[in-house]
A and B are shown apart, each in its own frame.
Chain A
Amino acid sequence: MANVLHIVVCAGIVPDPLQTLEPVTTPAGPGLKNEMVLPAVLDPWAACALYEAAALATKNPGSKLWLVSLGPKAKLQQVMMTVAQKVPFELVPIDGPIGGFPDSHATAAVLAETIAALPGLDRSKLLLFGGWESATRGAGVTLQLVGERLGITDQFQGVDEISLRDDGSFEVLERVEGGKHQVSACSGTPAVLGWATGNLAEPRNNPQVGMANMRTIMPALQKAKAAKLEANGLSYVSVSLPKQQRETRVVKDMTPDQIAAELVAWIGAE
């Protein structure tokens, strides 16, 4: 028997991982050089959460999937042109600052307020999804804070798998130390799941899904509310690139035997 789920995925946008990043000081605090023109993608772990959510919604007819994303409207629109082609969802955009330097508590407050006000959301059926860490701030706390603000006390982080049972309960695999998964059973929704990579491959682009999504995404972007993020006493003493540059010795003229012997000595050296 299928369970009707209301799945909300929180996902930010981040600079494409292949871009070179250079921190700069802006009037609003630290930022990245040319941040607004850097190509952006959906946060990788949050993207895994979105794909898992879509698969779960498909398996459970009648379920709904919202994607809540905070970022500058123009960048959100750019990223959604690609993301919208992957899986069906309803975008809930929030027009706010980009980047990893704003405070996560402020971000969580805005996200929680937005989710609480979602029309048609039944919080007793809520699965709150997101990445277990972002590729910007990487704090791994925003989702927990949103969950706390929404009164959800069943939370899981580093999730790689959820198995829903007919009675509405579910089993979760969470990453723990030593390359293991902790196996937990929860009696049902609501719950918070911060996803690691999960088990699904990135869906192929589907233009039909894209067209259907874009019909609601563009009006949603136009109506996106602006959010101001509080600093909450957070200040930056310094922001810099790591300076460590190694003097690399490039060895081109050694045989495999010689390399192996050198490596044995290196491995054995304390």
Chain B
Amino acid sequence: MENILVLTHADETGSALSKASLEAVTAGKELAARLSAPLTIGIVATDAAAAASTLASTGARILAVSGEAFAQSRYASDAAAAEALCRAANATIVLVPGTSRFTRVAAGVAHRLGGFIDTHITTLGGTDTIEATRWFYRQRVEAVISRSVRPWFLLLDAGTHAAYAGESQPIQIEQVAVTLPALRTTVSGFRAPAQGQQTIRPDAKMLFVAGAGWTKKQPDGQIHVAEAGELILGFLRATGASLGSSKSLVDQGGEGEPVLPFLTHMNQIGQTGSTPRHAKGLSTCCHGEEPHVVGWRFIGDRRAISLDPNCGWTRGKADVVYVADAFPVMAKLNALLEAKKA
């Protein structure tokens, strides 16, 4: 019989579980119910008691590693904490949220326990066994995998399960002691992109994708980068959308071409960028496979504004393609959105 452990950690407040952790709790509950297997939830947090309070209704055994050392997202301390939780739970299946914090350590922990790990899991299926779905070749090939060895760590992609929502109640927690190694790394904080305004919003309903066409010559023979920047930022302000970019647009800065000053490589989607999950996506001035195939894989409802009616990458990938110049369309769109707000 399988023994399931869900590893979780606190969010930046230190006293509540991160959203991705709560999604992993949902996945764990579903899997435990399907396999009739016992469920344990392990928590890494400064104040695990507060973080665990919403888990009472899961009926799971709760293990926790608490303390100031675990306020920081750092390999040495997080790996030691996760290893201790796994050993205490004696789990055969370990579900891990795909956060930057646990993505950094999960493989190392699996190795320490003599186990194996598979990552970017989007679905857990199978009947009597566990079959996990994940993508290969940057979201171009989809595979269903299984493992016969245990413990098996499964790192779940964020946004693939609903976040577990339980009422805050008193809950019994078993504290697990951890012997920390010498800590050579200190986390001093966070730094947002130097360009000022944060344009990456993972929780936004919409992704707005800007392509290299924004910085090319317009019908008057001139380049209008400043206007393009204003139109894009205006749309982001009006809708709260997250901003993605094609690689070619981000790369222009390094090639001495005009750039949109608020874009960084972190905005990049596609082959060497991210593959975000949003309900809707609007691409503008993009002409290539990267944004439409790879970057848009997990976008629900997709529309594009493109001057090229025959763009092979939007055909079959977008739901609607408007063959138009994005400059006047976005200007009108922003005006309408502002008027609607007012």
Residues of A within 8 A of B (CB): 14-15, 17-18, 21, 23, 30, 32, 44-45, 48, 100-101, 103-105, 135-142, 144-145, 147-149, 153-158, 160, 173-188, 196-197, 201, 232-242, 245-252, 254, 256-257, 259-261, 263-264, 266-268
Q: Apart from A176-B101, A197-B268, list 11 A-B contacts with CB within 8 A.
A: A101-B136, A104-B107, A139-B117, A147-B108, A180-B191, A183-B187, A201-B255, A234-B118, A234-B147, A246-B302, A251-B322
Contact check, A182 vs B75: say whether CB atoms are below 8 A apart: no
What is the interface of chain B mostly: helix, strand, loop, or mixed?
Answer: mixed
Contact check, B337 vs A248: say whether CB atoms are below 8 A apart: no
Interface residues as binary, B260-279 with A (CB distance below 8 Å gives 1, 0 otherwise): 00000111100110000000
Q: Enumerate chain A residues within 8 angstroms of B328, measured Cβ to Cβ.
A: 256
Within 8 A of A (CB), among B40-90: 73-76, 79
Interface residues as binary, B181-218 with A (CB distance below 8 Å gives 1, 0 otherwise): 10011111111110000111110001000000000000
Which one of B31-39, B164-172, B219-227, B311-319 contacts A? Answer: B311-319
What is the interface of chain A mostly: helix, strand, loop, or mixed?
Answer: mixed
Decide yes or no whether B1 CB sits under 8 A from chain A.
Answer: no
What are 6 A-B pairs with beta-carbon distances under 8 A?
Answer: A21-B141, A135-B137, A155-B108, A157-B104, A252-B323, A267-B206
Decide yes or no whether B161 CB sits under 8 A from chain A.
Answer: no
Contact check, B137 vs A239: say whether CB atoms are below 8 A apart: no
Identify which of A21, A48, A184 gathers the most chain B CB atoms within 10 Å of its CB. A184
CB < 8 Å: which of A18, A139, A144, A182 contacts B187?
A: A182
Contact check, A177 vs B99: say whether CB atoms are below 8 A apart: yes
CB < 8 Å: which of B119, B141, B191, B319 contacts A173?
A: B191
Q: Enumerate chain B residues within 8 angstroms of A140, measured Cβ to Cβ.
A: 103, 107, 119-120
| Nearest CB of A to B265, in Å | 4
| Nearest CB of A to B129, in Å | 9
Within 8 A of A (CB), among B290-310: 290, 297, 301-303, 305, 309
Contact check, A197 vs B103: say whether CB atoms are below 8 A apart: no
Contact check, A153 vs B75: say whether CB atoms are below 8 A apart: yes
CB < 8 Å: which of B143, B181, B267, B333 contacts A30?
A: B143
- Closest chain A residue to B152 by CB distance? A233
- Closest chain A residue to B239 by CB distance? A267
Contact check, B186 vs A259: say whether CB atoms are below 8 A apart: no
Decide yes or no whether B16 CB sits under 8 A from chain A.
Answer: no
CB < 8 Å: which of B142, B147, B201, B316 contacts A235?
A: B147
- Closest chain A residue to B138 by CB distance? A135
Contact check, B321 vs A250: say whether CB atoms are below 8 A apart: yes
Contact check, A245 vs B316: say whether CB atoms are below 8 A apart: yes
Q: Enumerate chain A residues within 8 angstroms of B340, measured Cβ to Cβ.
A: 264, 268
- Closest chain A residue to B265 by CB distance? A197
* Given A18-B289, A182-B73, residue A233 in contact with residue B149 (CB < 8 A): yes
Contact check, A179 vs B323: say whether CB atoms are below 8 A apart: no
- Closest chain B residue to A101 by CB distance? B136
Decide yes or no whether B236 CB sits under 8 A from chain A.
Answer: no
* Given A141-B107, A233-B149, residue A256 in contact with residue B200 (CB < 8 A): no
CB < 8 Å: which of B189, B265, B320, B337 contacts A183?
A: B189
Contact check, A179 vs B137: say whether CB atoms are below 8 A apart: no
- Closest chain B residue to A252 by CB distance? B323
* Given A157-B103, A235-B148, residue A249 in contact with residue B116 (CB < 8 A): no
CB < 8 Å: which of B137, B272, B322 contacts A136?
A: B137
Contact check, B329 vs A256: say whether CB atoms are below 8 A apart: yes
Decide yes or no whether B162 CB sits under 8 A from chain A.
Answer: no
- Closest chain B residue to A173 by CB distance? B191
